[in-house]
Structure 1
Amino acid sequence: MELMSTPKKVVVFDYGFGNVRSAERALARTGAEVEITRDFDAAMNADGLLVPGVGAFAACMRGLKQARGDWIIDRRLSGGRPVMGICVGMQILFARGIEHGEEAEGLDEWPGTVAPLEADVVPHMGWNTVEAPADSELFAGLDADARFYFVHSYAVHDWNMETHNPAMHAPKVTWATHGKPFVAAVENGVLWATQFHPEKSGDAGAQLLNNWIGTL
């Protein structure tokens, strides 16, 4: 008799700045057990923590700190517990953001500045392809021409993080282009993030979320 595997428990962190319901539905389709909450213990103990984000960088950071999300993310990463950020939930993982002339500090997990897109048409709204590393786990099983849904006016255009320790693996960075190339996704140990919305990206987004759940 084949034993049924226990569903992975995922918390969608609810700090007031994310499309939590659409993320919940998309994750539930992977077979995960999903809870929307800002409860400290639930967020700390879940197999995976998903941090969405919609709105301005500074406002999201304030909301995250008020919910102790910054501390939760730091502690989870220190303990090797997976975290995934989406859209502004990815942007706040960088060192700083500049929006509407206001500069705010991010979580500084990665160096870099979130700045206005350099393109003729802003916001970048709609479907776009990405250029993922050949050994990407996040995009495993997806065709090179797979499209993902973006809605944003800001992004990180330069990646300056390097590792000189041969025992450490350099982060895997995926790029997209809207005017100028920008960071579309990052895989860095147990910390993954996407600028696009996998929960709005149809079958390609579903495959990507399945890939993440499969690592938990």
Structure 2
Amino acid sequence: MIAIIDYGAGNIKSLQFTLSKLNISNTLTQDKTLIKESKAIILPGVGSFQDAMRELRDAGLDEIIKQEVTNGKPILGICLGMQLFYQSSKEGGHSEGLGLLTGQIERIPSTVKVPHMGWNSLNVIQENDITANLPVEPLVYFVHSYYANKVDGNDVIANCSYGTEIPVLVQKNNIIGMQFHPEKSSDIGIQLLTNFKEMYL
């Protein structure tokens, strides 16, 4: 069972529908016992970094996430969920993140239309299990105004170009982040979630 962290992020139904389609048992929860008993965690995200971290802290979910990840449990962060893995964000003023990955969340440059919304291609720079069976320059769906900057290049599996080079698929050991929405990315998203399932479940 995958525990999807419930912190009022919204828009979870399409993710749950896609997981169920792949026969991945899942539950939306704040229950710390269920999170500890789960095989993996998904941290979804729609909204602002500052509000999300406040919700996680108020519910004590930030500590249980860090504890479980430190113990080796796989975690997948989607969109804002991936951004929350990093040390800090400039969105709405300075906010501390979970600190699971090195980097800072900054606004996409104003040289392009913000938010970055719609389809864009992944430039895969490290082949590994999470990128198995993907075509060349696969298209995925984005909705975001901020991105991870000053990251550890060793963690970046794929990036995309939108005003700057944006890390959009990252991995460090049992931590995987997707800046895009796999549940809205058609066959490519299905393949990525299938890869996650085969890696960890």
Q: TM-score range by the shorter chain?
A: over 0.9
Matched, 1:194 2:178: yes
Q: Is the 8 A contact 1:50 1:85 kept in 2?
A: yes
Q: Is the 8 A contact 2:85 2:98 kept in 1?
A: yes
Q: Normalized against structure 2, the TM-score is what?
A: 0.94
Q: Is the 8 A contact 2:125 2:159 kept in 1?
A: no
* Partner SS state of residue 85, structure 1: strand
Identity in percent: 32
Q: Is the 8 A contact 1:115 1:155 kept in 2?
A: yes
State how far apart, in whole Å, the 2-side matches of 1:73 and 1:136 are.
24
**Which residue pairs with 2:158 in the alignment?**
174
Q: Is the 8 A contact 1:158 1:182 kept in 2?
A: no
Q: Normalized against structure 1, the TM-score is what?
A: 0.88
Matched, 1:210 2:194: yes
Q: How many residues in Structure 1 have an aligned counterpart in Structure 2?
A: 199
Deviation at 1:179, TM superposition (A): 1.0
Deviation at 1:67, TM superposition (A): 2.2
* Partner SS state of residue 130, structure 2: coil
- Write the letter of the residue equivalent to 1:181: E
State how far apart, in whole Å, the 2-side matches of 1:18 and 1:158 are.
28
Deviation at 1:188, TM superposition (A): 0.9
State how far apart, in whole Å, the 2-side matches of 1:92 and 1:183 are.
14
Matched, 1:21 2:18: no
State how far apart, in whole Å, the 2-side matches of 1:126 and 1:67 are.
32
**Which residue pairs with 2:129 in the alignment?**
137
User: Where in structure 2 are the equivalents of 1:88-127 lying within 5 Å?
Assistant: 88-100=80-92, 102-118=93-109, 119-127=111-119
Deviates most, 170-179 or 26-35: 170-179
From 37, 51, 56, the equivalent of 2:29 is: 37
Deviation at 1:172, TM superposition (A): 4.2
Deviation at 1:157, TM superposition (A): 3.0
Deviation at 1:181, TM superposition (A): 0.7
Unpaired segments ≥5 residues, structure 1: 1-8, 163-169
- Write the letter of the residue equivalent to 1:98: K
Deviation at 1:174, TM superposition (A): 1.7
Q: Is the 8 A contact 1:150 1:195 kept in 2?
A: yes
Matched, 1:81 2:68: no
State how far apart, in whole Å, the 1-side matches of 2:143 and 2:102 are.
23
* Partner SS state of residue 99, structure 1: coil
Deviation at 1:15, TM superposition (A): 0.8
State how far apart, in whole Å, the 2-side matches of 1:36 and 1:145 are.
32
State how far apart, in whole Å, the 1-side matches of 2:144 and 2:150 are.
17
Cα gap change, 1:148 to 1:130, in 2 (>3 Å) = same
State how far apart, in whole Å, the 2-side matches of 1:195 and 1:171 are.
13
State how far apart, in whole Å, the 1-side matches of 2:10 and 2:128 are.
26
Matched, 1:54 2:38: no
Larger-Rg structure: 1
State how far apart, in whole Å, the 1-side matches of 2:127 and 2:102 are.
23
The answer to which structure has the higher helix fraction is 2
Q: Is the 8 A contact 1:129 1:146 kept in 2?
A: yes
Q: Is the 8 A contact 1:14 1:20 kept in 2?
A: no
- Cα displacement string for residues 27-83 of structure 1 (whole angstroms, at most 9, x for unaligned residues): 111111111111111111111110101111100101111222211211111211111
User: Where in structure 2 are the equivalents of 1:140-179 lying within 5 Å?
Assistant: 140-159=132-151, 161=152, 170-179=154-163
